[in-house]
Amino acid sequence: MTYDLELDLCGLQCPLPILRSKKALARLAAGQVMHVTVTDVGALKDFPAFCKVTGHELLESWDQQGVFHFVIKKRFEE
């Protein structure tokens, strides 16, 4: 899969990964896809909740030896 934006937020603690992801998503066009990498274990709950509340689509997530990956598709404006 190709991504429109790759965001490395490893080493940052809550709430910075979500705040920086939100800011990055604002720069994307509707339907574009962002790949985020995070080491904060809280992200496992934070990113799915963030997507549910904001309407962005969490396409995929996985853990790769303590680095958490999230693939998020920006929602289409209504």
The reported pTM is 0.94
Report the CATH number that the domain containing residue 49 is assigned in CATH: 3.30.110.40
Q: Is the pLDDT of residue 78 over 80?
A: no
> Is 78 inside any structural domain?
no
> Is 42 inside any structural domain?
yes
> Is 20 inside any structural domain?
yes
User: What does residue 18 show for φ and ψ, rounded to 5 degrees?
Assistant: -70, -45
> Is 33 inside any structural domain?
yes
> Is 44 inside any structural domain?
yes
Task: Give the total number of structural domains in the chain.
Answer: 1
> Is 45 inside any structural domain?
yes
Residues annotated as catalytic (active site), given as ranges: 14
Write out the residue range of the structural domain in which residue 22 sits: 5-73
17-64 residue pLDDT tens: 999 999 999 999 999 999 999 999 999 999 999 999 999 999 999 999
